[in-house]
Amino acid sequence: MRYEQYPDFVAACEAVGRISGIQPGEKAVILAERKVEPEVIYALWAAVQAKGGQAWACLVEQAHESHVPGVVAGVLAEADVVFHSWVAAHSPEANRLRRERGQRWIAFADCLTFDRFLSPAVRFPIDLMVAIIGTTWRLIDQGQQSSELHITDPKGTDLRLELTRADLDELAADRRWQGRITADAPQSRSQIPCPHGPNLFHVGQQMRNQTATGVVRYDSIVGFGGSYSGGYGDSTFVAPVTIHFDRAQVTRVEGGWEADVMRRNLEDGQLAEIGVGFNPKVPAYDGKFTGAAGGGRAGTLHIATEGNGVEHADGVLHQPTVTIDGREIIRNGRLVALDDPAIVEMARRYPPLGERWLWDASEDREDRTFR
């Protein structure tokens, strides 16, 4: 670590301590795959020790989706907190340990490099993030009995979805909409950088809510290579990937080879999730190491589909406009809450952030080319 990185290192470790809720004497296990930079493992270790915890690291050659290797089961069973670099929290073993031991699981799949660990996205103030999420929810839920969610973008996305009062109440029960975005309670989950979501629609609603109809034209899909620089005409695909929905069911997939891959995975496909990005400092598109496609950035949407027996894939819109009964919550890729006077005033309490910092955070000029 270079000496000039040390202040950001300390701040990032403090943020990780807050996100994971580490208490003195607690035991933490770091599940990492070989592509994780060693400095990241050290940083997580340091974050745990700084809070008085104990850490162990388990390294595997290559991770498998939603799987925890049996060889580390004994170590995991002793943990209070588990940091994981792949989606291990979805595994049956992880679910059992959370249920039986109250373990907290924190993903760091978007921080596999030391630069990403030190980034402003990791260091973004949690209290400010909570306020941004709360302001957005107050725009969504104003006591109405039903709502129309409408999503558009400059490339031709036009999707409508009806939300009943029961749907809104179910969304409101999500701990993230309540401002609980850290792993500060037994069985809770979080991620670094914080947060992932919360959602405007999730697969649990699919059985009763089958109103989503229209078309979505993705800017990027998690795991697919390409480049994106934030402009209206940019795309990460050889041809636009377009998904058609009728009552939440996938009826047609159009595009190039990427669409062919999606089409094969979307047999009997359906809408699975609509998630909102809230962190202004997450890169719009930076998957060189992780395959991340920017769904956590403030003002983006990730709209997931899933097929018969296939885990869902997150497609991302970088310039959406989202309305609830005509009220804008995102305008051309900018989260409306960022311009709320109370949010701007709160940001001034976090030097050197300030109003200009929030404005800069919404600007999007990254140009990443990879794979």
Mean pLDDT in residue range 261-274 = 87
Asked whether residue 234 carries a pLDDT value surpassing 50, the answer given is no
**CA-closest candidate to residue 115, choices 14, 4, 279:** 4
- 114 and 212 share one domain: no
Q: Which of 122, 154, 173 is the last residue of a domain?
A: 122
- DSSP-derived pairing of the beta strands 54-60 and 81-84: unpaired
Name the 3-class secondary structure at 117.
helix
Q: How many domains does the chain have?
A: 2
Q: Which of 122, 137, 167 is the last residue of a domain?
A: 122
Q: Sheet harboring 81-84: ordered strands across?
A: 54-60, 27-33, 81-84, 104-107, 189-191
Are 303 and 297 contacting, i.e. CB atoms less than 8 angstroms apart?
no
- 268 and 247 share one domain: yes
Give the model's pLDDT for residue 282. Answer: 83
Which one has a higher pLDDT value, 246 or 72? Answer: 246
* pLDDT tens figures, 286-296: 544 334 555 78
**CA-closest candidate to residue 294, choices 284, 304, 279:** 284
Would you state the torsion angle of the CA atoms of residues 207, 208, 212, 218, taken in this order, to the nearest 10 degrees? -30
End-to-end, the C-alpha distance of the chain in Å comes to 27
- 91 and 129 share one domain: no
Say whether the peptide bond before residue 120 is cis (omega within 30 degrees of 0): no
**Separation between Cα atoms, residue 148 and residue 365, nearest integer Å:** 32
**Separation between Cα atoms, residue 303 and residue 301, nearest integer Å:** 6
Angle at 274 between CA 268 and CA 279, to 5 degrees: 145
**CA-closest candidate to residue 64, choices 91, 95, 98:** 91
Q: Can you give the residue range of the structural domain that contains 359?
A: 124-370
> CB 75: neighbour CB atoms within 10 A?
15
- 328 and 302 share one domain: yes
Place of tokens 């004994």: 74
- 107 and 185 share one domain: no
- 112 and 141 share one domain: no
Q: Which of 95, 122, 149 is the last residue of a domain?
A: 122
Give the model's pLDDT for residue 129. Answer: 95
What are the residues whose beta carbons fall under 8 Å from the beta carbon of 334, sequence distance 6 or more?
A: 298, 299, 362
Is 212 buried (19+), middle (13-18) or exposed (0-12) by CB count in 10 A? buried
- DSSP-derived pairing of the beta strands 158-164 and 241-246: unpaired
Percentage of the residues of the chain whose pLDDT score is greater than 70: 85
- 188 and 327 share one domain: yes
> Residue ranges of the alpha helices (H) in 228-353?
257-265, 341-347
**CA-closest candidate to residue 185, choices 102, 76, 128, 82:** 102
Average pLDDT of the chain? Answer: 84
Name the 3-class secondary structure at 1.
coil
Which one has a higher pLDDT value, 37 or 266? Answer: 37
Query: Residue 371's Cα: distance from chain center in Å?
Result: 22
Q: Is the dihedral of CA 137, 139, 144, 148 positive or negative?
A: negative
- 113 and 135 share one domain: no
- 130 and 107 share one domain: no
Q: Which of 57-71, 282-296, 328-342 is predicted least confidently?
A: 282-296
Name the 3-class secondary structure at 253.
strand
Is 59 buried (19+), middle (13-18) or exposed (0-12) by CB count in 10 A? middle
Domain of 15, CATH number, reads: 3.40.50.2300
Query: How is residue 43 written in tokens?
Result: 């940083």
Count CA within 13 A, CB hemisphere, residue 318: 26
* pLDDT tens figures, 183-224: 989 999 999 999 988 999 976 655 566 899 999 998 888 766
Query: How is residue 336 written in tokens?
Result: 């409306």
